[in-house]
Structure 1
Amino acid sequence: MCSGGFAKCLGISLMPLTVVCVLCNILLFFPGGKTVDSEHITQQVWYFGGILGSGVLMIFPALVFLGLKNNDCCGCCGNESCGRRFAMLSSMLFAGVGVLGAGYSVVVSAVAINHGPQCLTNSDTGKQWTYPFSEGDYLTNRTSWLVCLEPAGVVSWHLSLFSVLLVMGIIQMALCAVQVVNGLLGALCGDCCGCCGESDGAV
């Protein structure tokens, strides 16, 4: 497979991941599937890790990777090769942007998982909205989730969605890192190593 075609496969793979991340971030604004006041939404949700990091910043590299298919085997030799090589080289820059965006989402998600959600709890002064968990101590102690009175199911909601963002972000980083290598190979040996020779033989 030519490097342009492989980049298109990466771009196609990134698009659904991007959509999933954006949806997860949007759902986090409704803890436990409920509508709450904005000040009661977990702080890390407002960092827009899924919308900005794994969403908006990931759209650009995905579209660039998809466009590289236009630089595929036909006509990749001769004078046009410089343009093909430059396109593959520039894709490395966009892949770097993708790595940074996905990395941002991963960091935000990891912090959110460790910090836990904001919820309504009982205290000496009555019911109040707090962050009852710290340093991920609730991850191995499901009974501690009962301290959250409202919204119902907020802990599992928080943990599930941020875990999806974390995993999706790691996958996005891996795909963009692969394109860095693919782009480098395409820039060094041309967009279609081996294809030109085949075309010449066919003529």
Structure 2
Amino acid sequence: MCTASCSRFISGALYPLAFISVLCNIILFFPGGSVQYAKDGSLTEEVKYMGGLIGGGLMVLAPALFIHLTGKHGCCGNRCGMLVSILFAAVGVAGALYSLAVAVLGLNNGPYCKTIILWSTPFKDRSESYLKNRDWWGLCTEPKNIVEFNVGLFSTLLVTSLLELVLCGVQMINGLVGCICGTCNKKGVL
């Protein structure tokens, strides 16, 4: 596969991953489908870091657009464009790492929820993970099913950010090869 085709494949894969990251982050602001918790500020702290929106979304979408251009014949489909794509892919790596870090923290600390009468993060700083002990999940009484909600969405963010990280890393290697060897982009070959 030539470097231009590889760039088109990578950008095509990054678009839906960035969309999924943004969507997951937006949904995390509305536990139980209610705006009440966002209004009250009763959200898990890691949701407010917006790892999926900023890191896995915008910081990956911008490189995806430029990487897509390097796969086409024209201004960016050359050695110089491939060199610049390495820098854009590095921004994507940074964004994916940010999203990954926020997702890991969100899973590790658990949700912010109401336990009997107090709002807290009941699973934070425990010696044993709440992820291994589903019996603990009942500690959170409000919002309903918040543990499942957070685990599902932060797990999705974790997987998408890992995929984005791999794809942006591959593009950095692809960009280096394209910069050194050329893009194999010829008129009529696209």
Counterpart-to-counterpart distance in 2, 1:71 and 1:85: 12
Structure 2 equivalent of residue 75 of structure 1: none
Contact 1:103 1:173 (8 Å CA) reproduced: yes
The 5 Å alignment of 1:11-30 reads 11-30=11-30
Structure 1 residue 119 corresponds to structure 2 residue 80? no
Partner SS for 1:129:
strand
Flag the 1:43–1:148 CA change in 2: closer, same or farther, 3 A.
same
CA 1:7–1:142 in 2, change beyond 3 Å: closer, same or farther?
A: same
1:98 aligned partner: 92
Q: Which moved more, 1:30-39 or 1:146-155?
A: 30-39
Query: 1:150 corresponds to which residue?
Result: 142
Does residue 101 of structure 2 align to residue 110 of structure 1? Answer: no
Distance 1:38 1:67 in 2: 43
**Contact 1:44–1:112 (8 Å) recurs in 2:** yes
Aligned to 1:44: 46
Give the aligned partner of residue 32 of structure 2: 32
Normalising by the residue count of structure 1, what TM-score does the alignment of the two structures yield?
0.85
Question: Among the aligned pairs, what percent are the same residue?
Answer: 42
**RMSD between superposed Cα atoms in Å:** 2.1
Measured in 1, the distance between the counterparts of 2:77 and 2:19 equals 31
Q: Is 1:113–1:159's contact at 8 Å kept on the other side of the alignment?
A: yes
Q: Once the 2 structures are TM-superposed, how far is the Cα of residue 68 of structure 1 from its aligned partner?
A: 1.1
**Matched residues in 2 for 1:186 and 1:60: separation?**
20
1:162 maps to which of 142, 145, 154: 154
Structure 1 distance, partners of 2:169, 2:40, is 36
Alignment match, 1:128: 118
Give the Cα separation in 2 of the matches to 1:83 and 1:138.
49
Question: 2:22 touches 2:57 (CA, 8 Å); kept in 1?
Answer: yes
Counterpart Cα distance in 2 of 1:183 and 1:20: 25
Q: Contact (CA 8 Å) 1:71, 1:191: kept in 2 or not?
A: no
Moved beyond 3 Å, runs of 4+: none
Of 81, 86, 96, which residue of structure 1 is paired with 2:80? Answer: 86
Larger CA Rg, structure 1 vs 2 = 1
Structure 2: gaps spanning 5 or more residues: none
Aligned: 1:137 with 2:129 = yes
Q: Secondary structure at the match of 1:70?
A: coil
SS, match of residue 122 in structure 2: coil
Alpha-carbon distance in structure 2 between the residues aligned to 1:3 and 1:139 = 42
Aligned positions, number: 184
Q: What secondary structure does 2:15 align onto?
A: helix
